[in-house]
Amino acid sequence: MKNENMCPCSRKGFTLIELLVVIVIIAILAAILLPVLSKAKLRAMGATCMSNQKQLALAWLMYNNDNADNLISMNPQKYNSGVESWRFYDWNPSLFIVPAGTDPRTTHIEELQAAYKEAGFWPYAPNVNVLHCPADKRALSPVGPNIYTYATTAPGYFAWGSYSGAGGLNGGYGSCLMKASAIFHPSARYLFVEENDPRGENVGSWDQTTLTSPPGWAGSVEEDSTAAWHINSSTFSWADGHVESHRWHDGAMIAYALSMNPQKYPQLGGGPAPTMATCPNDLAYIANAYASPQNP
């Protein structure tokens, strides 16, 4: 006798149409979620960069307070030069030796970290990661022979130090301010900037000696390059301790900030660098906030 409760057939797996529906749903979800995840990653990188800048600004302020108002050198010096700088250009070989067999990238990073640990900021910001913005695209470039060597062809050499100190604040080039009390507008004068030097590590201060005079800055030209790692924005720390992210507006400034051509600098035969004519908004921002004896 036939059992009417038995299923005449057993169903196994999905039909082709059902599989296609699942694939389409997954594709739609991926299209929605991937841009969101990408933006979240960029925001996280920006937050890390802002935190680095905050630590650098606080270290700068504390150093001044502990050293009779004297500004620390923004131009990295040799460890045995007798000049205190925020980080050194090199390190004491008796205190740090790279272990044999260390890969070139790790060697470069550890050498730069050693140069920071032995310099003036370390007691105030004892975190080697404040040197590096995770969005710095130079970390994708090939590693050079050492941290002092400059590349001459694109895409340049690996660099791990993302920040440079403003040259007008005891930066070693041209006329400089040497006392914190000489900065009349600390909330409007930046300390550290993100610099995109494709040649390699930022070994000096961030100089703008080709700026002219306020208030109009007519004829000014950008010298050292900005960066634009955060969706066409850069982070800045300021002499009153605050930090901010600034979005670049002028196309020529953005192109220059993103350029990975080591020969882009006019003094090296490259360019054209941003000028007040081509970048009236962004170069004015840089010039107005660049501390110097003529613009304290």
Reading the block at residue 266, the tokens are 């006019």
79: Cβ–Cβ under 8 A, 6 or more apart, which residues? 88, 89, 90, 91, 92, 115, 118, 119
Question: Is 27 inside any structural domain?
Answer: no
pLDDT in tens, 196-248: 999 999 889 999 999 999 999 999 999 999 999 999 999 999 999 999 999 99
Question: Is 6 inside any structural domain?
Answer: no
Question: Is 106 inside any structural domain?
Answer: yes
Structural domain of residue 254, as residue ranges? 41-289
- Residue 11 pLDDT: 56
117: Cβ–Cβ under 8 A, 6 or more apart, which residues? 91, 128
- Residue 8 pLDDT: 52
Question: Is 28 inside any structural domain?
Answer: no
Question: Is 277 inside any structural domain?
Answer: yes
pLDDT in tens, 29-55: 777 767 766 666 777 889 999 999 999
Query: In this structure, which amino acid lies at residue 173?
Result: Y
Q: Distance between CA 186 and CA 269 in Å, rounded? A: 35
Q: Distance between CA 174 and CA 171 in Å, rounded? A: 8
| pLDDT higher than threshold 70 for residue 6 | no
Residue 103, Cβ density class (10 Å: 0-12 exposed, 13-18 middle, ≥19 buried) = exposed
| pLDDT higher than threshold 60 for residue 171 | yes
Give 263's Cβ-side CA count (13 Å radius).
5
Total number of domains in the chain: 1
Its pTM stands at 0.86
Question: Is 131 inside any structural domain?
Answer: yes
The whole-chain average pLDDT of the chain stands at: 91
- Average of per-residue pLDDT across 281-291: 97
- Average of per-residue pLDDT across 85-95: 95
| pLDDT higher than threshold 90 for residue 278 | yes
Question: Is 30 inside any structural domain?
Answer: no
Question: What CA dihedral angle connects 122, 127, 133 and 138, to 10 degrees?
Answer: 70
Q: Distance between CA 237 and CA 45 in Å, rounded? A: 16
Mean pLDDT check: name the lowest of 60-74, 175-189, 252-266: 252-266
| pLDDT higher than threshold 90 for residue 286 | yes
- Which pLDDT band, with edges at 50, 70 and 90, does 153 fall under? confident
Question: Is 31 inside any structural domain?
Answer: no
